[in-house]
């Protein structure tokens, strides 16, 4: 910076001296300064600020600010030359005008000194840069290599035509100096300059063809090497991916079988988790069932040491804990499902081997998968997962909140066992586990755990213990925990931000449903029907949904991809359907039905037109459950006919499914008729609802339009009134004027004309005529009988007595 500053100053000083005709060569002190030497030798030119560039002559595209390179002799010669200019000798001005920039050799113009150093070029009139010894050079070589050309007289001259051609040729790299054949000496000189670190403006390879080729070859080789390396990396990655998939598939096939009809994956009865017979019917596995199971197996001795809300906290007898480390395989299923999806977490899986060893009671895949889902970089604690992973994590963590309210130290053994049972759940039970989902300290705890004494099996040995800290804020009763769960989830959904944008939360959906009455539309529900599976509604209804057919949990396995969903795990299924929900109508009609029920059971109160007081929305709202309409009648008839379908099944299912339903059971004609009837009426009912909504919308729009039209009409009426008022004014004015003019007229005797006998009329050309009334009558009668042209009337008037008045 300082150097640059001084350089600029010195250059300016040099120019000043040259202007004042001071012989720079004679000032030894000055010229011996290294900076001045650099200026002269051109070394420092590279430091010149970029503002020089604006002085570059636009006619010489190859010039650059870096070409201020003059040898000592050249600079002296140039300086002498300048000094000898008669034009300069005559100048004795206090105003500093400097920087000879362009001009002929004999007639160098001086341009105003702007205070900034600039490019020095002595330019011939015909755009050929002239070296100071008087030789004409091609512009490119002169501009780019002024130093070389100055000291080298071997450079051949080139004509202006050649120059123009060269300028047009922009392919510098291929042929940077057309018309300028560099000899070996030239190249040697360039080499010397290059070794002296003289800035030539371009790389050395530009001059040396062989060097250029060599560099290009090197570059190509490097590129090839890089490509090969990338290719091998890609192959390696693909291979790893494949292996992982095979492993997962193998595990799935070992533990599950695929239903030939439905395509669902069903757990084998002899699977690794089958020891928990209680949960064998895992399709209908619910939290309630799990809690029931737990409550029946609580080791009362342990309860003393646990701050447990009975009925909430999963707790196990020691035997069960050691024998069956995975409670309710649904989690295992869900995790396994997710494993494939999250297969990129391989490194994590490897890094958790210690933990897996500790959890050796568990099938490795299960644990790894469950841990896999967290997607944590164990070194940093950062979440490395994608959105899906975060969602699963979110879901799981929420699940924990429902179930875990443990206190620390005293329950270490249980905690360990619990940890074995819910590896994702109580990894750090003695640590103050802050379930604030935003902070994700829970995840950090995993990292801590991993770094802790896993090998010796003392999982929590190194973890600081705060026995006074509960894992959760309180022992939350089940229902409250559900609420808390929802609330927490809502909070976390904010942090998820756009990721959670599908707004698939029950609370939101419920509020939307609640809004429907007011906004009079099921469109929102319709959208939710199409796009949102509302997984949380399932979770929230776990306590009441034992007969809910397990729709949400079947969906995952009925999907063709085993990784598409963590089925049957209430914790793992939350978001699983979002990605595929767009096809729910086709792929998962049952699930759609579950949602569709919300869409059907609407309050179809009409829209409230703007400006009207909203009607009482709840007027008819409570009646639906008590209503004994055809719906219940149909249900009854279905039961009478022993038809194994619900009304919703019949109405909401797509045609294909509906036809399969009819075919799958041998139904009588009456049964078929009833089913078709129910479907038709149900469809029509929805259609009627939609139709009414549309009708209301049309009415609203029409009323809006009517208001607008009324406004427009009022405006037009107002305008008309204004115009009529103006017209009246004009008529009055005209009347006054007419009277005034008429009374001013006098006949030959100086008497005023009788207004009953004469009247004033104006022709189209502006003349005012005094017309006798008889003429008027004739005229009017003429005009009434036949159209009389203005000219004819005028002629007739002219033939009569015509009075012109000067006033």
Partner DNA sequence: CGCATTTGTCATGGT
Partner DNA sequence: GGACCATGACAAATG
HEC assignment per residue over 192-228: HHHHCCCCCCCCHHHCCHHHHHHHHHHHHHHHHHHHH
Nearer to DNA, 377 or 523 (CB): 523
Give least dist CB 696 to DNA, A: 9
**Using the rule CB under 7 A, is 677 a contact of DNA?**
yes
The interface region with DNA, picked from 330-338, 442-450, 553-561, 673-681 by CB under 7 A, is 673-681
Please name which of 357, 350, 356, 400 lies closest in space to residue 377, comparing C-alpha atoms. 350
Give least dist CB 266 to DNA, A: 30
Give least dist CB 592 to DNA, A: 13
Give least dist CB 611 to DNA, A: 15
The interface region with DNA, picked from 11-19, 447-455, 474-482, 625-633 by CB under 7 A, is 625-633
Give least dist CB 684 to DNA, A: 5
Give least dist CB 617 to DNA, A: 9
| Signed CA dihedral, 290, 292, 293, 295: sign only | positive
Q: Which of 162, 409, 585, 690 binds DNA (CB under 7 A)?
A: 690
Give least dist CB 665 to DNA, A: 16
**Using the rule CB under 7 A, is 597 a contact of DNA?**
no
Q: Could you tell me the end-to-end alpha-carbon distance of the chain, in angstroms, rounded to an integer?
A: 91
CA angle 126, 132, 136 (to 5 degrees): 35
Q: Which of 116, 361, 495, 689 binds DNA (CB under 7 A)?
A: 689
The Cα 391–Cα 477 span in angstroms is 25
Q: 761 pairs with which residues across the strands?
A: 769
Q: Within 640-669, which residues bind DNA (CB under 7 A)?
A: 654-655, 658
Q: 100 pairs with which residues across the strands?
A: 110
Contact criterion met (CB below 8 Å) for 558 and 608: no
Using CB under 7 A, count the residues that bind DNA.
Answer: 35
Angle between the N-to-C axes of helices 364-372 and 330-341, in degrees from 0 to 180, rounded to the nearest 10: 60
Nearer to DNA, 637 or 779 (CB): 637
Q: Which tokens go with 573? A: 């299924």
The Cα 385–Cα 366 span in angstroms is 18
Give least dist CB 517 to DNA, A: 8
Q: How many CB atoms are located within 10 Å of the residue 237 CB?
A: 12
Contact criterion met (CB below 8 Å) for 504 and 249: no
Give least dist CB 574 to DNA, A: 29
Q: Which of 16, 688, 712, 728 binds DNA (CB under 7 A)?
A: 688
The interface region with DNA, picked from 163-171, 189-197, 339-347, 603-611 by CB under 7 A, is 603-611
Give least dist CB 640 to DNA, A: 16
The Cα 185–Cα 368 span in angstroms is 72
**Using the rule CB under 7 A, is 629 a contact of DNA?**
yes
Nearer to DNA, 694 or 802 (CB): 694
Nearer to DNA, 420 or 661 (CB): 661
**Using the rule CB under 7 A, is 606 a contact of DNA?**
yes
Nearer to DNA, 356 or 686 (CB): 686
The interface region with DNA, picked from 80-88, 277-285, 622-630, 764-772 by CB under 7 A, is 622-630
**Using the rule CB under 7 A, is 637 a contact of DNA?**
no
**Using the rule CB under 7 A, is 487 a contact of DNA?**
no
Please name which of 601, 683, 600, 674 lies closest in space to residue 642, comparing C-alpha atoms. 674
**Using the rule CB under 7 A, is 800 a contact of DNA?**
no
Convert residues 565-594 into a mask of x (bound to DNA by CB under 7 A) and - (unbound).
Answer: ------------------------------
Q: Which tokens go with 668? A: 């009588």
The interface region with DNA, picked from 33-41, 191-199, 242-250, 613-621 by CB under 7 A, is 613-621
DSSP annotation of 24 reads G
Q: How many CB atoms are located within 10 Å of the residue 583 CB?
A: 12
On the CB side of 265, how many CA atoms lie within 13 Å of its CA? Answer: 27
The interface region with DNA, picked from 65-73, 203-211, 529-537, 600-608 by CB under 7 A, is 600-608
Q: Which of 623, 636, 736, 746 binds DNA (CB under 7 A)?
A: 623
**Using the rule CB under 7 A, is 626 a contact of DNA?**
yes
On the CB side of 294, how many CA atoms lie within 13 Å of its CA? Answer: 25
The Cα 507–Cα 266 span in angstroms is 32
Q: Which of 271, 381, 630, 772 binds DNA (CB under 7 A)?
A: 630
Nearer to DNA, 402 or 603 (CB): 603
Q: Which of 16, 687, 699, 707 binds DNA (CB under 7 A)?
A: 687
Q: How many CB atoms are located within 10 Å of the residue 517 CB?
A: 20
Q: From residue 355, give the alpha-carbon distance in Å to each of 44, 272, 351, 529.
A: 64, 19, 9, 42
**Using the rule CB under 7 A, is 474 a contact of DNA?**
no
Q: Which of 622, 642, 756, 784 binds DNA (CB under 7 A)?
A: 622
Q: Which tokens go with 555? A: 């969906």
The Cα 455–Cα 355 span in angstroms is 8
The Cα 309–Cα 614 span in angstroms is 46
User: Would you call 687 exposed, middle or buried from its count of C-beta atoms within 10 A (0-12, 13-18, 19+)?
Assistant: exposed
Q: Which of 218, 695, 731, 802 binds DNA (CB under 7 A)?
A: 695
**Using the rule CB under 7 A, is 628 a contact of DNA?**
yes
Q: How many CB atoms are located within 10 Å of the residue 445 CB?
A: 21
The Cα 31–Cα 205 span in angstroms is 33
Give least dist CB 555 to DNA, A: 22
**Using the rule CB under 7 A, is 685 a contact of DNA?**
yes
Nearer to DNA, 67 or 679 (CB): 679
Nearer to DNA, 384 or 608 (CB): 608
The interface region with DNA, picked from 257-265, 372-380, 616-624, 665-673 by CB under 7 A, is 616-624
**Using the rule CB under 7 A, is 700 a contact of DNA?**
no
**Using the rule CB under 7 A, is 620 a contact of DNA?**
yes
**Using the rule CB under 7 A, is 736 a contact of DNA?**
no
Q: Which tokens go with 422? A: 């819910």
Q: Which of 684, 743, 744, 774 binds DNA (CB under 7 A)?
A: 684
Helical ranges in 581-668 per DSSP H: 584-587, 589-600, 623-626, 630-640, 647-652, 655-664
The Cα 477–Cα 237 span in angstroms is 48
Contact criterion met (CB below 8 Å) for 233 and 248: no
Please name which of 294, 317, 277 lies closest in space to residue 478, comparing C-alpha atoms. 294
Give least dist CB 519 to DNA, A: 13
Q: Which tokens go with 228? A: 């090969």
SS3 670: helix
The interface region with DNA, picked from 186-194, 398-406, 682-690, 798-806 by CB under 7 A, is 682-690
Q: How many CB atoms are located within 10 Å of the residue 728 CB?
A: 10
Nearer to DNA, 699 or 728 (CB): 699
**Using the rule CB under 7 A, is 554 a contact of DNA?**
no
**Using the rule CB under 7 A, is 605 a contact of DNA?**
yes
Q: Which of 226, 597, 619, 711 binds DNA (CB under 7 A)?
A: 619
What residues make contact with DNA under the rule CB under 7 A? 603-606, 615, 619-620, 622-623, 626-631, 634, 654-655, 658, 677, 679-685, 687-692, 694-695
């Amino acid at each position: 910076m300082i150097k640059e500053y001084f350089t600029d100053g010195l250059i300016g000083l040099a120019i000043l001296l040259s202007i004042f005709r001071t012989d720079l060569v004679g000032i030894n002190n000055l010229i011996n300064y290294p900076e001045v030497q650099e200026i002269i030798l051109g070394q420092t030119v590279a430091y010149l600020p970029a503002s020089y560039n604006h002085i570059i002559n636009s006619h010489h595209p190859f010039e650059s600010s870096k070409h201020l390179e003059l040898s000592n002799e050249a600079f002296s010669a140039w300086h002498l030359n300048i000094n000898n200019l008669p034009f300069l000798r005559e100048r004795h001005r206090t105003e500093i005008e400097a920087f000879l920039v362009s001009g002929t050799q004999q007639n160098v113009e001086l341009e105003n000194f702007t205070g900034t150093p600039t490019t020095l070029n002595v330019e011939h009139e015909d755009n050929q840069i002239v070296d100071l010894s008087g030789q004409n050079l091609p512009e490119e070589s002169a501009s780019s290599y002024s130093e070389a050309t100055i000291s080298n007289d071997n450079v051949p001259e080139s004509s202006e035509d050649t120059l123009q051609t060269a300028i047009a040729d922009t392919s510098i790299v291929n042929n940077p100096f057309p018309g300028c054949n560099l000899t070996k000496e030239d190249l040697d000189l360039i080499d010397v300059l290059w070794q002296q670190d003289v800035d030539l403006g371009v790389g050395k390879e530009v001059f040396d063809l062989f060097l250029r080729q060599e560099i290009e070859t090197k570059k190509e080789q490097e590129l090839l090497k890089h490509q090969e390396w990338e290719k091998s990396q890609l192959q390696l990655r693909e291979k790893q991916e494949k292996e992982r998939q095979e492993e997962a598939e193998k595990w799935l096939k070992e533990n599950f079988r695929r239903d030939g009809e439905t395509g669902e994956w069903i757990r084998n009865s002899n699977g690794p988790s089958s020891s928990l017979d209680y949960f064998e019917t895992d399709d209908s596995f619910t939290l309630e069932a799990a809690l029931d199971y737990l409550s029946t197996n609580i080791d009362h001795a342990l309860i003393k040491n646990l701050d447990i809300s009975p009925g909430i906290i999963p707790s196990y007898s020691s035997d069960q804990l050691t024998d069956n480390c995975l409670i309710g395989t649904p989690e295992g299923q869900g995790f396994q499902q997710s494993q494939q999806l999250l297969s990129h977490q391989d490194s994590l899986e490897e890094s958790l081997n210690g933990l897996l060893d500790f959890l050796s009671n568990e099938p490795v895949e299960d644990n790894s998968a469950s841990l896999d889902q967290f997607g944590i970089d164990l070194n940093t604690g950062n979440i490395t997962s994608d959105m899906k992973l975060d969602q699963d994590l979110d879901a799981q963590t929420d699940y924990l909140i429902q179930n875990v309210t443990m206190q620390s130290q005293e329950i270490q053994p249980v905690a360990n066992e619990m940890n074995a049972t819910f590896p994702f759940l109580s990894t750090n039970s003695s640590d103050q586990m802050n379930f604030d989902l935003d902070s994700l300290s829970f995840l950090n705890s995993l990292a801590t755990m991993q770094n802790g004494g896993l090998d010796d099996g003392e999982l929590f040995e190194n973890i600081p213990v705060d026995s006074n800290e509960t894992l959760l804020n309180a022992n939350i009763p089940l229902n409250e925990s559900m609420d808390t769960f929802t609330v927490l989830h809502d909070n976390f959904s904010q942090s998820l931000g756009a990721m959670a944008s599908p707004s698939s939360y029950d609370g939101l959906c419920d509020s939307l449903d609640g809004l429907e009455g007011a906004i009079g539309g099921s469109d929102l529900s319709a959208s939710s029907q199409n796009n949102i599976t509302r997984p949380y509604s399932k979770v929230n209804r776990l306590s009441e949904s034992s007969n809910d057919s397990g729709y949400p949990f079947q969906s995952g396995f009925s999907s063709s991809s085993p990784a598409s969903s963590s089925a049957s795990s209430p914790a793992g299924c939350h978001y699983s359907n979002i990605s595929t929900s767009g096809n729910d109508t086709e792929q998962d009609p049952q699930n759609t039905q579950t949602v569709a029920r919300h869409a059907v059971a609407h309050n179809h109160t009409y829209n409230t037109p703007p400006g009207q007081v909203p009607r009482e929305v709840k007027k008819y709202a409570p009646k639906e459950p008590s209503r004994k309409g055809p719906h219940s009648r149909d249900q009854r008839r279905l039961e009478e006919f022993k038809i194994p379908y619900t009304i919703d099944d019949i109405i909401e299912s797509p045609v294909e499914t509906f036809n399969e339903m009819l075919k799958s059971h041998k139904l009588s004609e009456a049964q078929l008729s009833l089913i078709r009837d129910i479907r038709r009426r149900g469809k029509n009912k929805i259609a009627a609802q939609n139709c009414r909504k549309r009708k209301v919308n049309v009415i609203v729009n029409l009323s809006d339009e009517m208001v607008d039209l009324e406004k427009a009409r009022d405006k037009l009426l107002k305008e008309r009134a204004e115009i009529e008022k103006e017209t009246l004014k004009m008529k009055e004015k005209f009347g006054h004027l007419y009277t005034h003019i008429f009374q001013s007229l006098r006949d030959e005797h100086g008497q005023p004309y009788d207004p009953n006998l004469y009247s004033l009329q104006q022709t189209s050309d502006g003349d005012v005529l005094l017309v006798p009334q008889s003429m008027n009558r004739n005229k009017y009668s003429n005009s009434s009988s036949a159209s009389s042209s203005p000219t004819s009337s005028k002629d007739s008037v002219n033939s009569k007595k015509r009075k012109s008045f000067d006033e």
